[in-house]
Structure 1
Amino acid sequence: MTVPGQRRATDQVRIVLVDDHAIVRHGLRSVLEREDDLDVVGEAATAAEALTVVADAEPHIVLLDLKLSTGDNTEGLELCGELTGRHPDLGVLVLTTFLDGGLVVDAIHRGARGYVVKDVDTTELVRSIRAVARRESSFDSRSAAAMVESMNAPTAEPRLTERELIVLRQLAHGLSNRDIGTKLFISETTVKFHVRNIMRKLTATSRAEAVYEASKLHLI
């Protein structure tokens, strides 16, 4: 018997690839479609494209790179949060070149179910995709070790991302979420996501308290 909301073992796993390099997407498609149960149903090179493709294709899994432009190295983190916020049942598996415990933890906080580095072998990648499709978590050995090391590190000042620091500075100027979104060319939903993360990392219960705690730490 199949439990409602769960996939049967024989179901096709529908996958969308999000990476700014076409040759990487084509290589991944070629590898994954050799597997009878894996079906690549869409590709995207940017965050905006990804939001549209995922809404249209309704995949089970998004294979997501963190770097989607020549700018911010963690643009994919923002996209991860927006995708999981819009599609709670979606499984996001981060596939990236960046191996950093803090990034792994941030990806989990944004709803990712797994994290693997791009030089992982094909067998391990396919295993991770199938695990995430079963609503399990999956991390390659190095990502898991980096995450544990990061979580066990002595507590220092909060680690805010570059984009969170930018949003924090706008908070300090008293801007609303809508105004911040307009100024930074991001959605109001994304701004709210950043503000929640800022407050969590600064253990603040209000925007004003977050600004106050940040000022004490000389973050602004």
Structure 2
Amino acid sequence: MTAAGARPDIRVVLADDHVVVRRGLAVLLDTLPGICVVGEADNGAEALHEVARHRPDVVVMDLRMPDVDGVEATRRIMRDFPDTAVLVLTMLSDDALVADAMRAGARGYLLKTADQHEIERALHAVAAGQAIFSSAVASHVLRRVGAEPRFPALSAREREILGVLATGAGNAAIAARLFLSQKTVANHLSAIFQKLGVSTRAEAIVVARDAGLGRDG
């Protein structure tokens, strides 16, 4: 239980059809301060049920699951529960699957080879509205969305916003840093995504960082 005045715990639902992996992850996460596992599911349909029941901050989602797979479950969560972030944690690094998960709305993508610190950092990041993915995944996303960012198509303001986005900042942080409204930032980001040929902020961050933006953020 969170003490009065303390930062509330990040409430997590785990979705993985391998019970040993899922239970091991639950035990690990429950030892981390500020993180609380509130539900578990062994397929995408159960994940949707647990999200509706608990309204968690983050769903840690495997991709290959029976009934409803992780990509479709992510898509439905983003449609019905947009305040819940999805962090993909899987053994799969296939180009198409990475891109499909990001387009479905996943805010982060880690491989199961990630260590405790990477997982903890990713949970805090996606819960705060940031996008995060392991370096092992970045090359796969780049191959899918194109390694050459079309920055000449961006306006000066759009390039400025992209540079701040590349640090992992959410819309509120971008707005505060550049003295813009969040609505203006959202409108610019929509234009940026279209011009870069990407569908999500995670893909945009990969393209921007490959061009050298945001590395010191």
Give the TM interval when normalised to the shorter protein: 0.5 to 0.7
Q: 1:88 offset after TM fit, Å?
A: 0.8
| 2:84 paired residue number | 90
| 1:101 paired residue number | 95
C-alpha distance in 2, partners of 1:49/1:17? 10
C-alpha distance in 1, partners of 2:16/2:145? 28
| Structure 2 residue corresponding to 1:64, chosen from 61, 65, 69 | 61
1:158-213 CA-partner distances (Å, limit 9, x unpaired): xxxxxxxxxxxxxxxxxxxxxxxxxxxxxxxxxxxxxxxxxxxxxxxxxxxxxxxx
| Structure 1 residue corresponding to 2:17, chosen from 20, 35, 41 | 20
Alignment TM-score, normalising by the size of structure 2: 0.63
| 1:76 paired residue number | 70
| 2:184 paired residue number | none
Q: 1:107 offset after TM fit, Å?
A: 1.1
SS of residue in 2 equivalent to 1:89: coil
1:101-123 CA-partner distances (Å, limit 9, x unpaired): 32222111111101000011111
| Structure 2 residue corresponding to 1:152, chosen from 146, 149, 152 | 146
Structure 2 segments unaligned to the other structure (5+ residues): 149-217
Q: 1:153 offset after TM fit, Å?
A: 6.6
SS of residue in 1 equivalent to 2:8: coil
- The amino acid across from 1:124 in the alignment is E
SS of residue in 2 equivalent to 1:93: strand
1:27-81 CA-partner distances (Å, limit 9, x unpaired): 0011111111000000001222111111111100000000113x8xx92111110
C-alpha distance in 2, partners of 1:105/1:135? 19
| 1:39 paired residue number | 36
CA contact (8 A) 2:43 2:69 kept: no
CA contact (8 A) 2:87 2:109 kept: yes
Structure 1 segments unaligned to the other structure (5+ residues): 1-7, 155-220
Which structure 1 residue ranges, 4+ long, deviate > 4 Å from structure 2? none
CA contact (8 A) 1:19 1:46 kept: yes
Q: Percent identity?
A: 40
- The amino acid across from 1:57 in the alignment is H
User: What is the RMSD of the two structures over their aligned residues, measured on CA atoms?
Assistant: 2.0
Larger-Rg structure:
1
| 1:48 paired residue number | 45
Q: 1:9 offset after TM fit, Å?
A: 7.8
C-alpha distance in 2, partners of 1:9/1:100? 40
SS of residue in 2 equivalent to 1:16: strand
| 1:120 paired residue number | 114
- The amino acid across from 1:120 in the alignment is A
C-alpha distance in 2, partners of 1:141/1:118? 13
C-alpha distance in 2, partners of 1:9/1:18? 28
- The amino acid across from 2:20 in the alignment is I
C-alpha distance in 1, partners of 2:52/2:134? 28
SS of residue in 1 equivalent to 2:113: coil
Alignment TM-score, normalising by the size of structure 1: 0.62
